[in-house]
Structure 1
């Protein structure tokens, strides 16, 4: 089975397509739940699949530290290890090295850093990152890059981006071509259009199976993020998937799909579930609030997820106040279902040539406020 992307329909800049991998086909636009340490927090793999998710994200940095990529490989690879038989994308570890490591040194060779787990000295290079992802058996491997901090002046952003492009060459050379497996390059360049264009052109010359847009959703705000996407996406190939890394809130997803993005990942639906925040068609609500304590209605009356079919806001509010783990688990399950339903709604709208109206209706409802108190 050859790895590949097929565009089935286009509506404006938005695309409806499929990505074929060794472990199955992904319908796009797609949202990938984050399974950092080989698990989506608070969810069984079967429950994640029930939400409609077709692909998960695993984390190179965390898995190389615990339990170790070689051990995962000995145990049959990440799919077997975590009991997930669908596609998996692994990030390269670069972002976590920058964000979690207290002590790190970046050189042309790679990054030397101190593990946040046990303080041990570790080294991650493009070659080692690709090797780890191969050992994990990721369907989609990400090139090793430096995630440019924000804010950064243009000179700093340029130096960082060009280092990532040199690492991209080495990542491509280290990648082992196999049927059904793909390698994505990552466009960097902060908020500077000329740097984004330079990065995209460099990656196209190297040649990748897909193209990610990194270094966004790091504090620049939605307006700048959308402007950067509008300047970047026209330089990416039409026949390859486009992945916006680490995004985001529901309005971010809708706006990015309208600008031509195919894939997303974000910890928001799961992390928010652990802090009592639920995403609904009418915006975000905090289920710890007293207004929900006697409410017999579900999180979202229009939702058919497991949590909404079986449990009330009052019960979940009770669980949260008692610090029972079931509360965050139910909200997480709902949030992931909501995200997948949002993506399915956009796929359908693109097929019908109606994404613009979908976006108008979405915004009107999402900003309209929660259902009235009883």
Structure 2
């Protein structure tokens, strides 16, 4: 069995030399560590850095976050996806301000009591911000352990997860949880890469069982492949009097609270145009005409792969008006093209905005 010193000493020495200069590492402020960890879930580091800096500039502490409007938070999060993360940050910040006097907790159990905070985030904040001994196991750490210990089951299976958590904690040197946990994640991110591992640069080279057996690329064992579901959706940018109609999705369900252009799934033998006319009538009561195809935008979320058929459309009298009904939204607005940047949209609709208004393919009256 690998002992603590032989594992941690070369790893910590490597981290001291190779650690990236990340903004939340400069003072290990608990709020900043918390925000960074939530942003980094299911998002690459290079994308997170810009978002993190803009977020901290706008919401510098838990009080600022708690007092912010949800629309402002979602707009700042737009592009990171998985908007539940942003909503949970908001809910947790309010909880801290209203129930904990505005002070972020230091205890692992208290972090778990915050809305939306799970075992990984609680462990990461306690280890990194407060230097407490907790096993911080993300995908990078799972890959390192799968190779070093030659784990022959997918890392997300219970036996592998328990093994990794147990050994990550066992190998953490006293008083070094902050650097040890980050070193493991950094090693997986920079050296122990999924497809092109840089084994000759690895401080754990001599300990790695997968390297010894020459099966590095066979670890981790892949999980069962996900089956994706293709769907075709139609959506339309409705113009009237130089303004654009947008509506805010309900508070629950997919993309809750985000703004959108109306539309829906193409049913049966419908054409995309027929779908859009039907959806506008069902959702708003508007009769639209003069449809013009803009683009087909492809994007994915969860298990779906979406072909988004996008149109420009108009009201017959070219006058912005209140929709007769509002069945699929909680709120609507007529806005100028420039104002679209102030609202948070799902990724597919933001791509449509970028292509239509920034790329020159303008809707015309």
Instruction: Return the structure number with greater strand share.
Output: 1
The structure having more radius of gyration, on CA atoms, is 2
Q: TM-score, with normalisation over the residues of structure 1? A: 0.25
TM-score, scaled to structure 2: 0.26
